Structure 1
Amino acid sequence: MPNRLAGATSPYLQQHAHNPVDWYPWGEEAFAAARRRDVPVFLSVGYSTCHWCHVMARESFEDPGIAALLNASYVPVKVDREERPDVDAVHMAAAQAMGVRGGWPLSVFLTPDGLPFFAGTYWPAAPHPGLPTFPDVLTAVADAWLTQRDAIAGDARHLVAALRAAAAVPTPVRMPPGALDDAVARLARRADRRWGGFGSAPKFPMPPVLVFLLRHHARTGDPDALAMVEVTLSAMADGGIHDQLGGGFARYATDARWRLPHFEKMLYDNAQLLELYADLALATGSARHRAVALGIGRWMEREMRHGDAFAAALDADSEGEEGRFSLWTPAQVRDALAGEPDDDVQLLLTHLGITGPGAVPRIASPVADLAAARATAPEDVARRVAELVGRLARAREQRVHPARDDKVVASWNGLAVHGLAHAGAALGEPWMIELARAAAGFVLTHLASAEGGLARSWNAGRTSGPAVLEDYGAVARGLLTLHSATGEDRWLQAAENLVVRARVFAHDSGTGFHDSLGADLFLRPRDLGDGVQPSGNALMAEVLAILATHRWDESLREEAGRIVAATRAWENPLGGGFALAVAERLATAPRELVLTGEPSPQLAELRDVALRRFDPLLVVGYAGTDHPVIGRVAPVAAAHLCEGFACRAPVTEPAALAALLA
C-alpha cells in the first residue's frame, strides 16, 4: 500500500512511495504529528540519482523490521534536496556544525518544533567496520529522547542560536586592490598542473572557478589563468568523466586523472561546461574543444529533453549496479563490433583504454599516436575511430539505461538556456539557440506561479513549491543571454520582471538576498559561496550588472558590487568562483555593443561578428531605432560600441566591427 509520498511531484519521493516506512513529505502535517505523538522527526534528505541514497533505501527503508522501528519512535520525513534546496542547506549546516562530513543521504533528527539535535549521513543496516548500524542509531536516539529530553532540547536551542549567529551579516568591506590577481595566484597554488582541477581526488569540475579564470584572462591577458582552464578542460575531455560514446560529463571523478567517474550525469554540470568548452574553443581555436561542446549540446537534446525543457539528471545505477551502463570489457567491445577487422577493433580498444574488465572508455591513445603507429594519415584514423565509436554507442543503446529524474528544475533550466544560447551564438549553431528558446518558453509558461513568480520545479503537469533565489537568478541570466543571441526583446523584459519578483528575498542589510522565504525553517538561509553551481546571490549580481549595462543604470551596478563584496569571495576563490567572475565584469567600465536597426540579415551579420569571438565581458544589446543615449538612429543595421556609458561612432560593415572589437 503506498504511503503519503505517492502523490509527490518528485521522482525521488515517488521512489519511496511503497516503502513500509510511514513517510511524510516536508510540511506542517509532519511536525503536528510529532507534537501530537511527542516523538522526534527523522529527516532523510536525498535525490533521485544519489547512489548511497539508493543503498540506504534498499538496506533500511525497504526492510519491514527497520521500518517498524522508525514508525514506532519517529515521524519519518523525506525531502528531495533538488526540490527543497533550502531545507537541505540549513540541515546540512546543522549536521556539519555537529561534526558530520557533508554528503547524502543526509539523516537528521529533529525535535517536534523542528530543531536539529543529531545527524549523520549513510548508516548501514548491518554491522560495518567503523559505522554504527541504522537500527542501533534509531534505538539509541529513541532512548535518549525518553531519558535526556531536557538536555536534547537545550543542545538543539544552542546549536540553532550558533547557526543564526554565524549567518549574521558581517561588516561590509570593499574588495582590496589586487584581490582578483591574488585570487588567481591562490588558485594557481592549488592547481594540478598535470591533470587539471584543484587539489587531489575526488575531483569536481567546478565550472564557476573556470568561468572566473577565463574572464580574468580576457580582462588582463594573464596566460596562466587560461592555462589552468585549458589543462583542466583538456584532461576532463580525455577522461572517463566525459562520456566518450554519448557526450556529456559525469558529476565528478573519484581519481586525480578524471578517469573513473561517479556516473550520475547532472543537467547543471553540463549546462555550465557547455559554455566553458565553447568559450575555450573561441579563446584557443581548438577544434577538439568545439567538438566537446557540440557533444554536450547533442547529449542534452537527445537524452535530457523533457517536453521543451530539460530533465534534472541521469542516475549512476542501472540494473542495481553503479556504472553498469557505461562499463566495457574487451570481449563486450568485440561482440558489439562483430564483423569489423580485428586490427580496427584493437585500434578502438587501444584508443579508449579498454584493456580489462569493467573499463570506463577514455582517450588513452590519441588519434595522432594511433596514426603514427599505423603510418596512416591522422584524418583517416580519426574517421575510422568515429565510425567505430558510433557503432559502439549504438550497441550501448541496447543496454538497460539508467533512470532519469524528469523534474524540470527552474534554476538548472536557466543554466541550460544560458549555456545553449551562449554556445549556439558563439559556435554558429542555430539549433542550440532553438533549444534555448524552447526551454525558456517552457519555464516561463509551465513554471509560472499565479502571482507572476516562478515555481521551483515541474513534473508530469504539476509544479512543486515556490522558487528560491537561484531559480530567479539563473533563469533571468539565461533570458538575458537568449536576448543577446536573438535580439528578441521579450526575453529582456521577462528577465527584468523576474528581478522585480526576486526582491522579496532581499536582505535587510542591502547586501544581497536570502535564498528563500524560509517561513518553515529554523533559519532563513543565505548562501554567499559558490560550489559546483553559482550561488543565488552571485547569479543575481551577474544579472544586475548586465541589466545595468543594458539600461545604463549605475545603481544596479553598485548593487551588484555590494553583493560581491559581501561574499568576500577573494578570501576563498575555490568557494567563490562565480562571485569573482562577476567581480571581473565590474572591474572595468561597462562595455556594450548596441545593435540598432530593424531585424535583417545585415544586423544578424553584425551580431555574429560580436558573439563569435572570445570576449566574455562584452554585453550585446539591441535598440531598434531608438536608444536612451544614442538617441534616434537610422533604420539601417549598425553597431555602436559603448564603454563607460559613452558610445563611439557607429559602424555598418562586419569587417569594420571586427576591427573595432579587436
Structure 2
Amino acid sequence: MNRLGDATSPYLLQHANNPVDWWPWGEEAFGEARERGVPVLLSVGYSSCHWCHVMAHESFEDEGTAGYLNEHFVAVKVDREERPDVDAVYMEAVQAATGQGGWPMTVFLTPDREPFYFGTYFPPRQSHGLPGFMDVLQGVVAAWRDRREEVAEVAARITRDLSERTGAYGDPAAVAGKAELGAALEGLTGGYDAEHGGFGGAPKFPASMALEFLLRHHARTGDESALRMARDTCEAMARGGIYDQLAGGFARYSVDRTWTVPHFEKMLYDNALLTRVYAHLWRSTGSDLARRVALETADFMIAELGTVEGGFASALDADSDDGAGRHVEGAYYVWTPRQLTDELGQADGEFAAAYFGVTPEGTFEEGASVLRLSPGNGVVDADRVASVRDRLLAARAHRPRPGRDDKVVAAWNGLAIAALAETGAYFDRPDLVQAAVDAADLLIRVHLDERGRLFRTSRDGDAGVNAGVLEDYGDVAEGFLALASVTGEGVWLDFAGLLLDAVLRHFTAADGTLYDTADDAETLIRRPQDPTDNATPSGWTAAAGALLSYAAHTGSQPHRDAAERALAVVGSLAARAPRFIGWGLAVAEAALDGPREVAVVGATADPLTAELHRTALLGAAPGAVVAVGEEGTAEFPLLLDRPTRAGRAAAYVCRHFVCDAPTSDPATLRAQLRADV
C-alpha cells in the first residue's frame, strides 16, 4: 500500500494499492521532489470517472509503468471533488495549452508546483492520435534531464500568464437588467434544439441552471417561449435514456443529442438540481410528468445516495460488473429483448421492449438497449406498466451494483437540502423535508467548525481536512434558507447568516468580485476565481443568490449590496455565454422581481396559517422568500410588526420591506405572487 492508504477520499483509496508510489497533495510531496531533483506527475480525477478507471487499469496498475514513474517522478494523486481549487487552477492551464480539458487530468510540474506539460487521458500506447503514456513519461524525463533551463522558463512563463489572467467581470457598479436578461433568452433560443430539447449537440448535458432561469423568466414576464423551452427539454430528458426509467434519477449527460444513451454515472449534484427544476416546472404548469420525476428523483437520492449519518453520498459509478467478470460501463442499466422475456415472460417481455424502446439491434453496445420511453407509444395500461417496472427493478437488484463514492460534499448536500425541502413541501411529503433537515444537521455537526467555517467533505461522520470553497458556503446557505422558508424554523436563517458573513469577510474582493477560495486558504500558483457555471452553479453566483435571499429575509443592506456587486458579472456574460451563467441569470431574475418577501403570520395549529404558508411556497415569483410564524415572534425579521387580521392568519407580500395590503384569502395571495405583466 502506498501513501494513500489513510485517505478519506474513495477515489484516492481506489489507488492505494497501485504499484505507483502515490503521494497526496501537500508540501511533503513537493519537498520530496525538490530533494530528489525530479519533476512531479499530478493526476487529478474522481471516483465515478470512467476514463480515470481506464487509465488506472492500463497504466497505474502496470508494474513496468509504475516502476518507471517511481524512479523518475514524484506522483501526486488528487480527488478533484475534494480539492476543486487545485483542479481549477491546473485545468485552466490544460485548457489554455491544449484547447480542451477533462479527466483524468495529467499535468507535469516542477517541484515549485509550476506546470510545464499537460494532457488528460493517455493510452498505454499511441492510439487515435494520442501519444502513449510511457512515451510521454520518457519524453518528459529527457526534457527534464537535457533541457532543464528551457523547462524552467516554460513553467515560469505559464505560471506568470495564469497569475496575470483576469476575467471580463464587468462594471462593479452595474446590475444585470431586463435588456441583459432578454439578450440571454435570445442566446439560449439560438442554441436550443427544437427537435430534441436541450441546448447544443452531442454530448448533451442537462442544463439545470439555464432551465431554472427559463422558469424564473417566465414567472416574472409571462414569456411563453421560455416556459416552452424548459418544459419540452424536461419532458425529453424524462422520456430519454438519461433518466433511469425503473428507479428514477438522472445520469451525468447524454452522449447523443436525443438523450438516448447516457454516460451512466449518477451525481448527487445533477439529481439535486434537477429535482428542484422539475418541482418548479410542476409549480408553474401542474404537469403530472414533472411531479412524478421530481418525486422519483428525490426518492432516488434518499434510497441510493443517502448515508447512515443523514447526508448524501457524491455519486454512483458508470461502470459495474457485467456478470461475466468484466467491469463495463452501463452494465447495471441496459437490457436485451431476451433478458426482458426471461424476466417477464413472452407477452410482457414484448410489451416492455416496445414500451421502453429495447430493440434487437440495441441502442447501446453489444445489442443491449438503454430503457427510454419511445416517442408516440401513446396511452398504455398503467397497471401493466407498473407491474413490468416493478419486476424489472427487482430483477436488476440481483445484478452487481455500481460502486458508490460515499464522501459527503458540503456544497452538493446544500443543493440536495434545498431540493428536498421544497419538493417535500410542494407534494406533502414530510419525509423529504425531514431528510433535508437530517442532512442539514450533519453539516452543522460535522462540517461546521467553531469559527463558523466549513470543511469541504466528510466520510462516515468524520470531517475531512480540506477547507470549504465558495460554492460550499453559497450552496449550503441556499439549502439552509430553503429550510427556513419551508419549516418556519429561524435557526436555519441564523446558520445561513453565519456562512454568508464568512463569504463577506474571506471570499470577497474590494471591487465586489468573489474568489473561489478564502483569503486564508492554501496559496496556489493562482487564486481561482470563476463566475461561470460548470456542472453546478459557480460559487460566485451561488453566493450571490444566497446573499440576495438573506437580504430579503433580514433587510440587511450590506448583504444586498454584496449580491448586486457580484451580479455585475451577469450583465457582461448574459448575451455572450448564457448557458454558462445560468444560475447568475436566475439570481438576476430574482433581483429584478425584488425578490418578493412573504410573511405569513398566524397560530401554528391554525389550518388557515398552513394554507397561506403552502400558497406562499407555491408562488412562482422568482427567488421569493417566505417566513411563517406566530404573531410577535422574533425568529424572522419579516414577521416583526406584521399582525394578524382580527385574530385571523394573514399574509403580507412585500418588496424591500414595503408591503401590499395583508390578506387572509389564499386566492388573493396567489394573485399577489403572479408575474407583473
Q: Is the 8 A contact 2:613 2:628 kept in 1?
A: no
User: Which one of 625, 641, 644 corresponds to residue 619 of structure 1?
Assistant: 625
In the alignment, the residues of structure 1 paired with residue 268 and residue 170 of structure 2 have an alpha-carbon distance, to the nearest angstrom, of: 36
Q: Is the 8 A contact 1:469 1:505 kept in 2?
A: no
How many angstroms does 1:632 deviate by? 5.8
User: Which one of 309, 313, 316 corresponds to residue 314 of structure 1?
Assistant: 316
Pair 1:654 & 2:662 matched:
no
Match in the other structure for 1:66:
65
In the alignment, the residues of structure 2 paired with residue 461 and residue 283 of structure 1 have an alpha-carbon distance, to the nearest angstrom, of: 38
Match in the other structure for 1:334:
341
Match in the other structure for 2:569:
566
In the alignment, the residues of structure 1 paired with residue 653 and residue 127 of structure 2 have an alpha-carbon distance, to the nearest angstrom, of: 65
How many angstroms does 1:591 deviate by? 1.2
Pair 1:346 & 2:350 matched:
yes
Q: Which amino acid aligns with 1:514?
A: Y
Q: Is the 8 A contact 2:619 2:673 kept in 1?
A: no
Matches within 5 A, 1:131-146: 131-146=130-145
Pair 1:471 & 2:472 matched:
yes
In the alignment, the residues of structure 2 paired with residue 10 and residue 636 of structure 1 have an alpha-carbon distance, to the nearest angstrom, of: 54
After superposition, give the CA deviation of every residue in 1:105-150 in whole Å (9 maximum; x if it has no partner).
0000000000011010011112323111100100000110111111
Q: Which amino acid aligns with 1:281?
A: W
In the alignment, the residues of structure 2 paired with residue 62 and residue 385 of structure 1 have an alpha-carbon distance, to the nearest angstrom, of: 45
User: Which one of 578, 593, 614 corresponds to residue 583 of structure 2?
Assistant: 578
How many angstroms does 1:630 deviate by? 5.4
Match in the other structure for 2:363:
none
How many angstroms does 1:609 deviate by? 1.4
Matches within 5 A, 1:110-259: 110-167=109-166, 170=169, 172=171, 174=174, 175=176, 178-259=179-260
In the alignment, the residues of structure 2 paired with residue 337 and residue 643 of structure 1 have an alpha-carbon distance, to the nearest angstrom, of: 58
Q: Give the TM-score of the pair, scaled to structure 1.
A: 0.95
How many angstroms does 1:559 deviate by? 1.7
Distance 1:176 1:622, change over 3 A: closer
User: Which one of 542, 551, 554 corresponds to residue 551 of structure 1?
Assistant: 554
Instruction: Find the residue that maps to 2:452 and give its secondary structure.
Output: coil
Instruction: Find the residue that maps to 1:4 and give its secondary structure.
Output: coil
Moved over 6 A (4+): none
Pair 1:359 & 2:369 matched:
yes
**Identity level (%):** 46
How many angstroms does 1:555 deviate by? 3.5
Instruction: Find the residue that maps to 1:593 and give its secondary structure.
Output: strand
Q: Is the 8 A contact 2:169 2:568 kept in 1?
A: no
In the alignment, the residues of structure 2 paired with residue 367 and residue 389 of structure 1 have an alpha-carbon distance, to the nearest angstrom, of: 16
Q: Give the TM-score of the pair, scaled to structure 2.
A: 0.93
After superposition, give the CA deviation of every residue in 1:74-113 in whole Å (9 maximum; x if it has no partner).
1000000000000000000011111251100000000000
In the alignment, the residues of structure 2 paired with residue 344 and residue 333 of structure 1 have an alpha-carbon distance, to the nearest angstrom, of: 8
In the alignment, the residues of structure 2 paired with residue 534 and residue 632 of structure 1 have an alpha-carbon distance, to the nearest angstrom, of: 35
How many angstroms does 1:564 deviate by? 1.2
Distance 1:628 1:22, change over 3 A: closer
After superposition, give the CA deviation of every residue in 1:408-462 in whole Å (9 maximum; x if it has no partner).
0000000000111122222332221111111111111121224331110001232
Q: Which amino acid aligns with 1:80?
A: D
Q: Is the 8 A contact 1:206 1:533 kept in 2?
A: no
Match in the other structure for 1:101:
100
How many angstroms does 1:170 deviate by? 4.9
Deviates more, 1:592-601 or 1:72-81: 592-601
How many angstroms does 1:551 deviate by? 1.0
Q: Mark the runs of 5 or more structure 2 residues left unpaired by the alignment.
A: 322-326, 361-366
Q: Is the 8 A contact 1:217 1:226 kept in 2?
A: yes
After superposition, give the CA deviation of every residue in 1:583-638 in whole Å (9 maximum; x if it has no partner).
11111333111112342243222111122343343221235434578526257532
Distance 1:601 1:625, change over 3 A: closer
In the alignment, the residues of structure 1 paired with residue 186 and residue 169 of structure 2 have an alpha-carbon distance, to the nearest angstrom, of: 25
Pair 1:606 & 2:612 matched:
yes
Distance 1:628 1:460, change over 3 A: closer
In the alignment, the residues of structure 1 paired with residue 270 and residue 32 of structure 2 have an alpha-carbon distance, to the nearest angstrom, of: 39
After superposition, give the CA deviation of every residue in 1:333-382 in whole Å (9 maximum; x if it has no partner).
111114xxx333211110001112210000015552xx4xxxxxx4xx11
Distance 1:171 1:243, change over 3 A: closer
Deviates more, 1:126-135 or 1:491-500: 126-135
Distance 1:21 1:186, change over 3 A: same
In the alignment, the residues of structure 2 paired with residue 616 and residue 590 of structure 1 have an alpha-carbon distance, to the nearest angstrom, of: 7
Pair 1:633 & 2:634 matched:
no
Q: Which amino acid aligns with 1:290?
A: R
Instruction: Find the residue that maps to 1:579 and give its secondary structure.
Output: helix
Q: Which amino acid aligns with 2:628?
A: Y
Match in the other structure for 1:384:
384
Q: Is the 8 A contact 1:206 1:531 kept in 2?
A: no
Counting matched residue pairs gives 648
Q: Which amino acid aligns with 1:513?
A: L
Pair 1:590 & 2:595 matched:
yes
In the alignment, the residues of structure 2 paired with residue 299 and residue 164 of structure 1 have an alpha-carbon distance, to the nearest angstrom, of: 42
Match in the other structure for 2:401:
401
Q: Which amino acid aligns with 2:569?
A: A
Instruction: Find the residue that maps to 1:446 and give its secondary structure.
Output: helix
In the alignment, the residues of structure 1 paired with residue 527 and residue 537 of structure 2 have an alpha-carbon distance, to the nearest angstrom, of: 19
Provide the aligned C-alpha RMSD in A.
1.7
Distance 1:196 1:24, change over 3 A: same
Instruction: Find the residue that maps to 2:438 and give its secondary structure.
Output: helix
Q: Mark the runs of 5 or more structure 1 residues left unpaired by the alignment.
A: 372-377
Deviates more, 1:273-282 or 1:425-434: 425-434
Q: Is the 8 A contact 1:114 1:522 kept in 2?
A: yes
Match in the other structure for 2:462:
462
How many angstroms does 1:387 deviate by? 1.1
Matches within 5 A, 1:361-376: 361-365=371-375, 368=378, 371=379
Match in the other structure for 2:324:
none
Q: Is the 8 A contact 1:505 1:515 kept in 2?
A: no
